Amino acid sequence: MEPAEAEFLAEKELVTIVPNFSLDRIHLIGGDLGPFNPGLPVEVPVWLAINLKQRQKCRLIPPEWMDVAKLEEIRDQERKEDTFTPMPSPYYMELTKLLLNYASDNIPKADEIRTLVKDTWDTRIAKLRLSADSFVKQQEAHAKLDNLTLMEINTIGTFLTQALDHMYKLRSNLQPSESARSQDF
């Protein structure tokens, strides 16, 4: 899966905005979006929020986990633990990128937040690399990976699955069996 596709899925998450226009309830195929009144916060999916912000029709409110103290806590927790800690949102990476790109003026201390999220990401990817390495070395058949977000799995996923497939093919060709495929013409 491409990172762009992971971002597409992340855009379905809900985020709070404060519109500066008014519109009554709209009935989308995916569900209803509440009446919009200027000055009153309302929840919309990220794809709509970004679009409205670009047209200068609203102000974005950062999710409650996107705050320096909270992110520092998460980063330190991640560094302490050997396994993966639960992340505040399964799409934290994509949401950070989208919100900081399009609405950094609505988010206090945007640069610090960017650095903190990047640090957490680097720690998690390093842990992931180590564990993938040991998975392949010990030729495990199964791994449990809770608390990993889609973006992280994608980053390493295609490479890992293809490498494992190759190794399986090499291993099964070592043992000649009657089901060995060979082309007879």
The yes or no reply on residue 145 touching other proteins (CB under 8 A) is: yes
The yes or no reply on residue 183 touching other proteins (CB under 8 A) is: yes
The yes or no reply on residue 102 touching other proteins (CB under 8 A) is: no
The yes or no reply on residue 133 touching other proteins (CB under 8 A) is: no
Q: Rounded to an integer, what distance in angstroms lies between the CA atom of residue 53 and that of residue 64?
A: 19
With contact defined as beta carbons under 8 Å apart, do 64 and 20 qualify?
no
**What amino acid is encoded at 93 in this protein?**
M
The yes or no reply on residue 125 touching other proteins (CB under 8 A) is: no
Q: Which residues pair with 16 in a beta bridge?
A: 43, 61
Burial 93-118 (b: 16+ CB within 10 A, else e): bbbbbbbbebbeebbeebeebbebbe
The yes or no reply on residue 135 touching other proteins (CB under 8 A) is: yes
The yes or no reply on residue 51 touching other proteins (CB under 8 A) is: yes
| Interface with other proteins (CB under 8 A) | 1, 5, 8, 21, 23, 26, 28-30, 33, 47-48, 51, 57, 135, 139-146, 148, 150, 153, 157, 160-161, 164-165, 168, 171, 183-185
